[in-house]
Every structure is written in C-alpha cells, then in structure tokens.
A and B are shown apart, each in its own frame.
Chain A
Amino acid sequence: MFTFLHKFASPQYFYAWSASWQKWSSILAVLLMSVGLYYSLLNSPADYQQGETVRIMYVHVPAAWLSMFGYMVMASAAIVTLIWRIKVAEIMIGQCAVIGASFTALALITGMLWGKPMWGAYWVWDARLTSELVLLFLYFGVIALSGAFDDERAGARAAAILTVVGIVNIPIIHYSVEWWNTLHQGPTVSKFDSPSAHPSMLIPLLIMALAFKAYFFALLFKRARAELLLRERNTSWVKALLKDTE
C-alpha cells in the first residue's frame, strides 16, 4: 500500500496521470457552469422576498461552500505531508491555500453585493460573513508561512502544521462567531441564508456547487502541475520532458 502510494504520488507519475484529470475536470466545470448559470440566472424564479437579488446566492453560496471545502482538501494534503512527506501533497497545500483564499474572497465580495440591497450596507457583522473573513485570515496565514521559507519543503511542512492546527480550531472559531452573532443581533433584516429548499432554486444551486468544485480541481491540478515543473526543474525527468516538447 505504502509503496503503491509513493509511486502513485511520485512527481513524475503524478504529472502523467494528472493531465487527464485536469482535462476532464475542466470540461466538467465548463459544462456544469453553463447549465448552472442558465438555470440560476435565467430559468429560475425570483425570490418572493429578495427579488432578483437572490441570484447572487447562486454564486455566493457555492463560493462559501467551496471556501470550506478547499480548507478540507488542504488539510488532507497537510496530513499526507506530515505523515508521508510526499512532494505532491506539499505542493497541493500552497495551491489549495491560494485557490481557497480566492473563493473566500469571492464569497465575501458577493456577500457584500447582496448585502447592499438587502441590508442597505455593504458590510454587516453577520455570522457567515464574519466566519468567511476569519477563514480568509487563516488562508492568508498559510500562504504567508509557506512562502516565507527559503526551503520550499520546510515551508510546506510548516504550512501543513498550521493547517492541521487550524482544522482543530475552525469549528471552535465558527461556533464562537455564530454565538457571538446571536447575542449581538444587529440590524439584520432577513436571515442571510441559502435560498429556501424549493427544488426550482435548490437544483440550480447544487449544479453550481458541483461546477465550482470541478473548477476548483481543474485549477488545483493546473497550478500543482505548473508548480511541480518549477520545483523539479533540475531533475532528469523534467529535462527529458522539456526536450520532448522542443
């Protein structure tokens, strides 16, 4: 099992098999995204309360889900890094952090855009927005730490430890923020939540969520492959690869 895993995750082998994964997840992302966008933007009812503004949710909610999902993927890579010292997993951590941070930022921005018409202000200290903001801080920490080391492998291991500490902490942070929010219930007019479970809204939402996940993996593979080539530039297999493409 262990030797199999090592071979499967060796840089050269990973570079070979991830090519098709990258391709298929990209195709899947494009397909799902076009279907999802069609339904969510054109072919779904407006909310009886929020009106057309509800359509922001079809981007906001998948982005928010993905920001958590990205952290989970990053944490998995971190655990693999700490236990088996696999180079590909080390690379994944930094790339997950960058992509995850971008989606967290997207969730924040769409949340603010939604907030303006609904709350009359771009920012309200709502539980979900606050949690997203804290998550963004955590991502920034991982990005800053992994980039701060001269030795990339040490940086990756440091980032891995931080990620694992974070995964223990995130639920605590999440609940503390939620609790804090219920006690300081401010001027929020309506609950900031995913569209109600009506199928005509839920299905496009789920398609969008899947599209975002596929897009995430497409990006992750693309970035990881590029980073891998950069880090392994002095090895014989990369040199051979470059010679072939010349």
Chain B
Amino acid sequence: MRLFLFIFKRDILLAIRRRRELANPLVFFIMVVSMFPLGVTPDHAFLAELAAGVIWVTALLAALMSMDNMFRSDYDDGSLEQLLLMPGSKVVLIAAKIAAHWFSIGLPLVIIAPLMSFLLFLPTQALPSLIITLLISTPILSLLGAVGVALTLSLRGGGVLSSLLTLPFYIPVLIFSTMAINAAAVNQPVSGYYALLAAFLIVSILLVPFAVVAALRVSYS
C-alpha cells in the first residue's frame, strides 16, 4: 500500500507539472465532438440519436492519445528501470501507475463529457447513464491501454501501433456503454449494462497488471 501511494503521488505530481500536455487529449475530445455537427448536420433529432456513439468513440480516441504518457517518458529517461528495481510488488507498482493515469486523464474526460452531450443534444434522461458508463469504463480504457503501451515501449513509433493493438479490445466497452446510454434515452432499464461493464472492469483490474508486468519484461529484453 505504501508503494502504491508513493507511485501514485509521484505520477500525479508529474501529471500536474505536465498539465499542458495532459490537456491536449481533452482539447482533442472537445474539438472532434464539435466537428460532427459541422460534418454531418446540425439537425437536433439526428444528432441526439448519434450523440452516445460520437461521444464514446471520441472518448476512446482521446484516451488512446493519452496512453503514451503512462510509461513513455519514464522509459526514455531511465526512471522506469529504477522503479522496476525497487523492492516490492511489480503488480502494485503497475496498478498505481494505471490508477494515476486514470486520475489525470479518465476523470477529466468524465467531467467534460456532459458538456459535450449538450452540444449533441443528448436527451437529458440519458445524461446520468453517460456519466456512469464513463465512470466505470474509463478505468478499463486505461487498463487495456497500458498493455498496448507496455508491449510497444521499446519500438520506434510504438504509439500508433499500440493504438492498433488496443482498439479491438475496446469494442465491448464501446458496445455496452452506448447501448446503456441509448436504453436510458428511451427510458429502458440500464442496470444490466452497468453490471456487465463493472464485471469487465473487475476482470481487467485482476488480470491486466500481470500482463503489463510481463509486457514490460519483454520491452526490457
């Protein structure tokens, strides 16, 4: 637990120092969402129908953009090897880094997504489900993204490749989340979707840190 807090605090401190860089995915998120009415149609009803999908797909892309932050600079300046050489559980270390990443990227996404939903006329009754699905799912995005990033850490131009590896794994998140929001929009029950997303989150929390540790070992071979 002390190790977890140490790493978490360290990464949050670094995130605060790098806040400009961190803001980029969020600005990207806002910009891309506002491109849709321009590119498709400003029609109220049509956008409302599109809203859940657009917000979610854009959130996936914004999350992917930010994934490289998780390990890249630590890998490049040698800090990551110092962290890996610290006595203590590597799984805890990785979990802390992922948690810090979610805190600095996932959470802000959750906060600005409702604003985006106004731009796209998402029905108000669907707003809570948008926030809840984002809250449950953005940690999954950070977790799965960590695997892709860790696998491609030692490669030049690993960022693009890691996006390609990660995107297919995001499909269930995308499907369950948008289905939940669309169900909420027509006042259908949504708790089943939340349960599925939560189950996916738990499985990811339990398994992903091990996969990331294994992936980092490959990057250091």
Chain A residues within CB distance 8 Å of chain B = 82, 134, 137-138, 140-141, 144-145, 148-149, 151, 153-154, 157-158, 161-162, 164-166, 168-169, 172-173, 175-177, 179-180, 183
Q: A148–B165 contact, CB under 8 A?
A: no
Question: Is B86's beta carbon under 8 Å from chain A?
Answer: no
A145→B203 CA distance, assembly (Å): 24
Cβ proximity bits B197-216 to A, threshold 8 Å, 1 near / 0 not: 00010010001000100110
19 new A-B contacts, CB < 8 A, other than A169-B169, A172-B172, A176-B175, are A134-B171, A141-B165, A144-B165, A148-B161, A149-B154, A153-B221, A154-B218, A154-B221, A158-B152, A158-B215, A158-B218, A161-B151, A161-B211, A161-B218, A162-B147, A168-B203, A172-B200, A175-B172, A177-B171
Also in contact, A173 and B152, with CB within 8 A (given A141-B164, A144-B164)? no
Pairs A–B under 8 Å by Cβ, sample size 15:
A82-B214, A134-B168, A141-B164, A145-B165, A148-B152, A149-B155, A154-B154, A154-B219, A158-B215, A165-B207, A168-B203, A173-B171, A176-B172, A176-B176, A183-B179
Interface size on B, residues (CB 8 A): 26
CA distance A158 to B155 in the complex (A): 11
Closest to A164 in B: B211
Report the separation of the CA atoms of residues A141 and B165 in the bound assembly, to the nearest whole angstrom.
Answer: 5
B71 to chain A, nearest CB (A): 14
| 7 nearest A-B pairs in the assembled complex, by CB-CB distance | A176-B172, A137-B168, A176-B175, A141-B165, A180-B175, A157-B218, A158-B218
Q: In the assembly, what is the distance between CA of A179 and CA of B154, in Å?
A: 38
Q: A138: which of B168, B200, B218 is its contact (CB, 8 Å)? A: B168
B167 interface residue per 8 A CB criterion: yes
When C-beta atoms are compared, the residue in chain B nearest to A168 turns out to be: B207
Across the interface, which residues of A come within 8 angstroms of B169, CB to CB? Answer: 165-166, 169, 173
Q: Is the interface of A mostly helix, strand, loop or mixed?
A: helix
Q: A158-B215, A168-B207, A173-B168 are in contact. Are A179 and B175 (CB under 8 A)?
A: yes
Residues of B within 8 A of A175 (CB): 172
> Please, which residues of chain B bring their CB within 8 A of the CB of A179?
175, 179
Residue numbers in A under 8 Å from B154 (CB-CB): 149, 154
Q: Given the complex of chains A and B, what is the CA–CA distance between A151 and B218 in angstroms?
A: 10
For the complex formed, measure the closest distance between the CB of A100 and the CB atoms of chain B, giving whole angstroms.
14
* 1/0 contact string of B169-195 vs chain A (CB within 8 Å): 101100110010000000000000000
How far, in whole Å, are A134 and B171 apart by their CA atoms in the complex? 9
* Alpha-carbon separation in the docked complex, A179 to B207 (Å): 24
Q: How far is the CB of A50 from chain B (nearest CB, A)?
A: 29
Name the CB-closest residue of A to B165.
A141
B161 proximity list for chain A (CB < 8 A): 144-145, 148
Q: Are A165 and B155 in contact (CB under 8 A)?
A: no
The distance from the CB of A131 to the nearest CB of chain B, in whole angstroms, is 10
Q: A153 — which chain B residues lie within 8 A by C-beta? A: 221
Contacts of A141 in B (CB 8 A): 164-165, 168
Measured between C-beta atoms, what is the minimum distance from B193 to chain A in Å?
Answer: 10
Query: Within the complex, what minimum Cβ distance (angstroms) separates B7 from chain A?
Result: 22
Chain A nearest CB, measured from B122 CB (Å): 19
Cβ contacts under 8 Å, B175 to chain A:
176-177, 179-180
Query: Which of chain A's residues has its CB closest to B178's CB?
Result: A180
Residues of A within 8 A of B171 (CB): 134, 173, 176-177
Q: Who on chain A is nearest to B172 by CB?
A: A176
